[in-house]
Amino acid sequence: MKIFYAHSATTPPKQVSREVKLLKKVISERGTDNPRIRSGRDDHQNNWKGDWDAWQYSVVHRTDLTTQKRVYDVFMVTGTHCGRATANILRLALSLDRPVFWWDGEDPGIIRKVKEIEEDDCEDWTTGWRITCWNAAKPKQLPLPFPEDSRP
């Protein structure tokens, strides 16, 4: 299984490396033999040719020249928000019914299927999009009506 690991562009390289190793361990322990994980940074350094839109498209659509199989089988992301490039990659993958998962970054961790990527602030290119998962805990709603003693 080949996994694209989406992370913030501001995440330090050593941290990305640690996360990739930990994710490989987590995925292996869940029964996948020898998962191959490539960070967004590594893919960007090897495949970016000066056009952000073209690179984002290629992450999802790129195929192996020999086998003609897609380069990535699965897309993984961490955090509650992501930047523009990650949002575009994950939205495109979701639109093509490609598997996109959120991981909490822990061992053994929680992995959930991503439902959608929602825009919060398109002017914030580093954290302007919210990652929404299926079966994520819903926020508690305050009981209505409010108790009498809570009024001023």
- For the record, the structure tokens of 23 come out as 């994710």
117, 94 Cβ separation under 8 angstroms: yes
pTM recorded for the entire structure: 0.84
57-85: per-residue pLDDT in tens?
999 999 999 999 999 999 999 988 999 99
Residue given tokens 């991981």 in the structure block: 103
91, 56 Cβ separation under 8 angstroms: no
67 Cβ contact partners less than 8 Å away, ≥ 6 residues apart: none
Instruction: Give residue 84's identity as a one-letter amino acid code.
Output: R
Cα separation, 49 vs 25, in Å, equals 32
Cα separation, 151 vs 114, in Å, equals 40
Instruction: Give residue 18's identity as a one-letter amino acid code.
Output: R
Cα separation, 143 vs 72, in Å, equals 45
- For the record, the structure tokens of 52 come out as 């952000």
13-72: per-residue pLDDT in tens?
999 999 999 999 999 998 888 899 999 999 999 999 989 999 999 999 999 999 999 999
